[in-house]
Amino acid sequence: MNAQTFQTATEHHRAGRLGQAEPLYRQVLAQEPNHADALNQLGYLLYQTGRYQEALHLIGRAIDGDPSIAEYHNNLGLALAALDLTDRAIAAYRQAAALNPDLPEIHNNLGNTLEAVGQLDQAVAAFRHALALRNDLAEVWDNLSRVLKNQGHFDEAMAVAKEAVRLRPDLASAHFNLGLLHLLMGDLQQGWAEYEWRWKFLETCVPRPLFDQTLWDGGDLAGRRILIHAEGGFGDTLHFVRFVPLVVQRGGRVIFGCPKELLRLLQGLGGIEQLVPSGQAVPEFDVQCPAASLPRALNITWANLPAHVPYLRADTVKVESWRRRLLVGEGRLKIGLVWAGRPDFANDQNRSMPLSRLAPLGGVPGTWFCSLQKGAAGQQALAGPPGLELTDWTGELDDFADSAALIANLDLVVTVDTAVAHLAGALAKPVWVLLPFVPDWRWMLQREDSPWYPTMRLFRQRRPDDWDAVIDRVVEALRGLTSQRE
């Protein structure tokens, strides 16, 4: 009877009926507490439903009962990786591979965890091993493409991503990755199309707002009301809001939904009929469009890209208030600094740095620095690195309108790839952006300027994590600026 119950449980499990499988597994274990297969299967089910600690306990008991089964160690690795116990997860996968080297899923899981700890060469080797065992696994091609991209092998990453899409045309992550590669390499038309897959790929963590109204396709709006809703981070909103006037030109009456931190700043943008804080009820509207879908709807190419700046402006009263306070830096080059983005951003470890890395900037004569850094990283300004004298007024910056007024009084902003880079660029303020080896798609490759922001200059890592060489070039450029002012 117990064997039949276990078989029925596994049938439900394979069919995705987890709610029906779980009580049957538990029924088996109530009668046979050391049933290794049931322990493993229930543990895997719990992993699938996010109960990682309990999954780890059950799968560990399965291994205690029979340590010779590769699948048990593979599932143990999954639970350990989900708990960020990556060293133990890698060891579990390697043990699984030693027991059965012919299971491609083991090498794929190993590759994912090696990637998570930054061992990209070994991750590539693991994915290639999986594909050597079975070359029709679209998910593995997709994983390999992502790591190749992060290594800077963009052409190969593109070819591999296309293979993933060929094998599985509905694989959203592969389409999304392909979209990022197209945009990074400057192919806007293909990039916008593939970028639309972001909703299916990110739906578990960034759910698409649900509206009954039609998604705008770029056609004549003829006075209809369109809801444009922000997505992503603050920088994405500041970047894509440039397209609002083009929507107005097509007859749209624009309602714009955005985070409250941007409301006062965006009040000065022409064409927005009504601003609505994110999460609040919106008024009646006819059609809708996510902000990052505007370029596709508008068929944006390099030929018609709206790159005129400024398209955002600071409040004149606040600008004057800050002007009087910044007299303290009079006669020197007044520079705002940002060294870190929001830590919950997926790639933050590559784009952010500690303030101490910027210390050499303080050695450039004729400079005065103030912090524009918000968030936990801003606390580093309280005890800045030796040699970098830094004024910190960020406690008075309640939102982006306040930041804009301060930035309007600076000569230059030096920042990592954060929302402040977009803010300064949109205000037409000279801004130098420090980029990681593999940058965000909008900065593309190799070039030192940005077609998005005419006042922007890009300083790129030439090797992964080599911020020192980037800072050296910034120091040299600062010396050139200050010498011109003498």
Domain total of the chain: 3
Helices (H) and strands (E) in the chain, counts: 22, 11
Q: DSSP characters for 185-232?
A: TT-HHHHHHHHTTHHHHHTTTSPPPP-SSEEP-S---TT-EEEEE--S
Whether 68 maps to a domain, the answer reads yes
Whether 308 maps to a domain, the answer reads no
405 and 272 within one domain: no
Phi, psi of 392 (to 5 degrees): -125, 105
CATH assignment at residue 458: 3.40.50.2000
What pLDDT, on the 0 to 100 scale, is given for residue 204? 42
pLDDT tens-place string over residues 115-151: 999 999 999 999 999 999 999 999 999 999 999 999 9
How far is 332 from 366, CA to CA, in rounded Å? 5
133 and 6 within one domain: yes
58 and 97 within one domain: yes
pLDDT tens-place string over residues 426-478: 999 999 999 999 999 999 999 999 999 999 999 999 999 999 999 999 999 99
Structural domain containing residue 331: 316-485
pLDDT tens-place string over residues 304-335: 999 999 999 999 999 999 999 988 878 899 99
The amino acid at 108: N
Percent of the chain predicted with pLDDT > 70: 98
pTM comes to 0.92
Nearest in space to 42 (alpha carbons), one of 64, 73, 90, 75: 75
pLDDT tens-place string over residues 374-428: 999 999 998 889 989 999 999 999 999 999 999 999 999 999 999 999 999 999 9
Report the range of poorest mean pLDDT among 29-33, 367-371, 482-486: 482-486
282 and 143 within one domain: no
CATH assignment at residue 253: 3.40.50.20
Q: What is the average pLDDT score of the chain? A: 94
156 and 69 within one domain: yes
Dihedral over Cα of 345, 233, 378, 326: its sign? positive
How far is 305 from 81, CA to CA, in rounded Å? 43
Whether 215 maps to a domain, the answer reads no
394 and 435 within one domain: yes
Q: Among 172, 202, 232, which residue terminates a domain?
A: 202
224 and 124 within one domain: no
Q: Among 228, 262, 297, which residue terminates a domain?
A: 297
Q: Helix 2-14 crosses helix 36-48 at what angle (to 10 degrees)?
A: 30
Whether 176 maps to a domain, the answer reads yes
Q: Where are the alpha helices (DSSP H) in 262-303?
A: 263-266, 294-297
Report the range of poorest mean pLDDT among 109-113, 161-165, 199-203, 397-401: 199-203
Decide if pLDDT at 483 tops 60: yes
154 and 10 within one domain: yes
Decide if pLDDT at 54 tops 70: yes
Pairing, β 333-338 against β 412-416: parallel
pLDDT tens-place string over residues 76-105: 999 999 999 999 999 999 999 999 999 999
Whether 38 maps to a domain, the answer reads yes
Decide if pLDDT at 276 tops 90: yes
Q: Residue 68 to residues 47, 62, 79: CA-CA distances in angstroms? A: 21, 10, 18
Whether 23 maps to a domain, the answer reads yes
Decide if pLDDT at 211 tops 90: no
Nearest in space to 120 (alpha carbons), one of 151, 93, 142: 151
Whether 208 maps to a domain, the answer reads no
What pLDDT, on the 0 to 100 scale, is given for residue 57? 97
Decide if pLDDT at 280 tops 80: yes
pLDDT band at 48 (very low <50, low <70, confident <90, very high): very high
What pLDDT, on the 0 to 100 scale, is given for residue 486? 61
What pLDDT, on the 0 to 100 scale, is given for residue 330? 83
Q: Where are the alpha helices (DSSP H) in 389-466?
A: 400-407, 419-426
Decide if pLDDT at 166 tops 50: yes
Q: Are 339 and 373 in contact (CB under 8 A)?
A: yes
Q: Among 141, 169, 202, which residue terminates a domain?
A: 202
Dihedral over Cα of 309, 311, 317, 318: its sign? negative
Nearest in space to 231 (alpha carbons), one of 183, 292, 180, 175: 292
